[in-house]
Every structure is written in C-alpha cells, then in structure tokens.
Amino acid sequence: MSPAKEAWPMDDRFPLAGGSSAGKIKPVAVGPVVFGGPDVPVIAGPCSVETEEILLQTARAAREAGASLLRGGAFKPRSSPHTFRGLGEEGLKLLALAREETGLPVVTEVLSPRDVELVARYADMLQIGSRNMQNFPLLQEAGRSGKPVLLKRGFANTIEEWIWAAEYVLAEGGQVVLCERGIRTFERATRNTLDLSAIPVIHSWTHLPVCVDPSHGVGHSPWIPAMARAAVAAGADGLMLEVHPQPEKAWSDGRQSLDLESFRRLMASLPPVAEAIGRRMAVAALVPPGSSGQ
C-alpha cells in the first residue's frame, strides 16, 4: 500500500459502506423518519428511562418541539457498576407506551447479542453505544435483526475503525446510521471532544448517513445548543439530544441533559441553520397508533 493510500484511505477499503457508492448518501428509514434525505431529524429523550410520568412528559414535549424520534436507555452501560444501569424490559415497555402515546419511533441501546431479539421487539432502531462499537458478535446480531442500527463511534476509535465496524452490520444485511458522539483527547474542559470533521469525511468515504450527539460530545448542557447548530451547519444528517424535565434530578447524565424549555429554544433556532445549507429540519412523521415497533 502506498504511503498516500495509507494516509488517506480510499473507498475500496470499505466495500459495503463505500466502494462505487461512496459520496452518495443512501437514506435509511426508521418507520416514517428518514436519515440522509433533505430533512434533518432530531432524536430526543432522557438518558435513562426512569418512570412512566417522566418519560411521557419528555416524549410529549419533544414531539411538540419538533423531535422526530424518542430516545431512552432501558439497558445502560455505566462506567461504574454501582450506578443506575437501567430498568431492562420494563423500560422497553415504557418506551413502547410512549410511542403509542406520542407516535414517535423509538431508538434504544442494546448491550449484548443475547438481548437483540428482545430489544428489537420493542424498538424501531437499535443503538450500539460507544463502548460496544467493536463488539463484533453484537454488530452481527444487530445486522440480522431487521431493524436499522444507530452505531456510535467509540471514544478511542478512528473514523476508519468506525466504518469497519459498520461493515459488520452491513455484511449481515442491516442498515446503518453512524453517530459521532465525541472522542477522548487530552482536553478536559469538555466531557469528550466532538469531532465534527467526521461528518464530511464520512460523507466522502461512504454512503452512510451520519448524525451527531452533542450531549455526550461536550457533557455540559449550556454548550450543547452551539454544537448542535454547528453539527447541522457541517452537514449532519440528524441530531441526538438528551432531554429531561428536571436534569438536576435525572438518574443519569443530568449535567448534559437539556431541560424542556432549553430544548424548545434550541429546536426553534435550528431551521435557519439548515436552510442556510439547503436543508430543512424534519417535521415529525409519527408511527401509527398501535404499532409494535416490528
């Protein structure tokens, strides 16, 4: 391999994500919501599913502000085993209830290959988190699930490694939306360093849509709106935002969660940014009542 090719990977290194289709985004549908089209959807919701009341309050507010999908963790990969790690299937049932109530498709994380079938029973999109980006059995099982996969970048992984992880899902017939959520650098002012340069690189090397999670990227709610707008301006195909009615009382990641009013203000500020680059913020296209997520 020539030094130039090693430094600037060519799209033939990614036969499924790149190849002849590199640079031409292939849209991915999650129910009625499309990533990679002219509209930019927003995924919003609490870090963790806590109670029915909080989840429904958040879901209703997210829908009213313009979010297209609902996020919420039922299985949580926490750094410490002594912190809240999710409600499990009970949390999945609450997410399904929130979808029934609001019409918002559900995105939630799966941690283990053995849980893919269970989570896919309730979710419209499976999330594979940063810590599991190179869990190859999980990637393969998710690819066989029949549900689109939101693949977060590992906090210590290169863009190439991230795309290769996506290849595992694609090889099983799955569809992938990538999600940049920040990487670990020597900078400590923010929780992570949000790598917005990944957006044009991914769009150049692959056909995959890429969304951005500024909540994990900066880890501090006052800084999230600026990075969300920057992500849209840089060409992100979607946003993922943590939202909670009372962030100071959240069971996890309250510091990086927007309260409902802050989320509404952010959503109101995004359309002019999208329009400036020839796009639109998506208007929620809701799941029909009674949908099971399957």
The CATH number linked to 152 is 3.20.20.70
Is the residue at 20 inside a domain? no
Is the residue at 21 inside a domain? no
Cβ neighbours for 1, distance < 8 A, ≥ 6 positions apart: none
- Residue of 167, 233, 169 lying closest to 199 (CA atoms): 233
Domain count, the chain: 1
Is the residue at 18 inside a domain? no
pLDDT for res 79: 57
Q: What is the DSSP string of 137-176?
A: HHHHHHHTSSS-EEEEPPTT--HHHHHHHHHHHHHTT--E
pLDDT for res 48: 93
Judge contact between 151 and 178, C-beta under 8 A.
yes
Cβ neighbours for 133, distance < 8 A, ≥ 6 positions apart: 151, 152, 153, 154, 157, 161, 162, 165
Average pLDDT over residues 181-192: 96
**Average pLDDT over all residues of the chain:** 92
Q: For residue 11, which phi and psi values (nearest 5 degrees)?
A: -70, -10
Is the residue at 10 inside a domain? no
pLDDT for res 4: 44
- Residue of 155, 166, 177, 149 lying closest to 237 (CA atoms): 177
pLDDT, tens only, 95-125? 999 999 999 999 999 999 999 999 999 999 9
pLDDT for res 257: 96
Is the residue at 14 inside a domain? no
Q: Which domain holds residue 172?
A: 26-281
3 pLDDT exceeds 50?
no
Task: Report the residue count for the chain.
Answer: 294
pLDDT, tens only, 25-77? 999 999 999 999 999 999 999 999 999 999 999 999 999 999 999 999 999 66
Is the residue at 160 inside a domain? yes
